[in-house]
Amino acid sequence: MATTTDTELVGSLVRLMHVLQDLYAETSRPLGLTPQQAHLLCVLLAGPQGMTDLSHILSIERSSLTSMVDRLERRALVARNPYPGDRRACQIALTPAGHALADEAHTAFTDRVDALTADLSPTARKALVSALGQLPLSR
């Protein structure tokens, strides 16, 4: 049975999830991107990724990812590059234009998160980072 503290924690995390999703939508729209497209571009800032890895990271079906990559490729924001050692597979990489837009999307989002958390004390920030760091966030 869930305690009041458990219910408060779940409620707080769900509210945070919705706020972050809204921020992502608000920052991606002016850039001509959907939140999912902005997320994909930001993920690719770390370097090229295979389609299977991207579908796991983004939590979307591979067919949906393929459609998204197709649209971004038509806009010259991403490119499909051959995967070393497997001629059937490809890696998705940012083009120079895609890199610039991904940087812009990432900066816009982090600026909004900074504004959201501006009133937190340094101690509260450290505690939040520590608590979130203990959660098994990768799947």
- Give pLDDT tens digits along the chain (139 positions): 566 678 998 999 999 999 999 999 999 999 999 999 999 999 999 999 999 999 999 999 999 999 999 999 999 999 999 887 777 888 999 999 999 999 999 999 999 999 999 999 999 999 999 998 898 876 5
Q: Which two tokens stand for residue 96?
A: 């120079």
pLDDT at 98: 98
75 close to 118: Cβ distance less than 8 angstroms? no
Tokens 């501006």 belong to 118
CA distance 37 to 39: 5
Entry pTM: 0.83
User: Can you point out the beta strands (E) in 31-139?
Assistant: 49-50, 78-83, 86-94
Q: In what order do the strands lie in the sheet with 49-50?
A: 49-50, 86-94, 78-83
36 close to 72: Cβ distance less than 8 angstroms? no
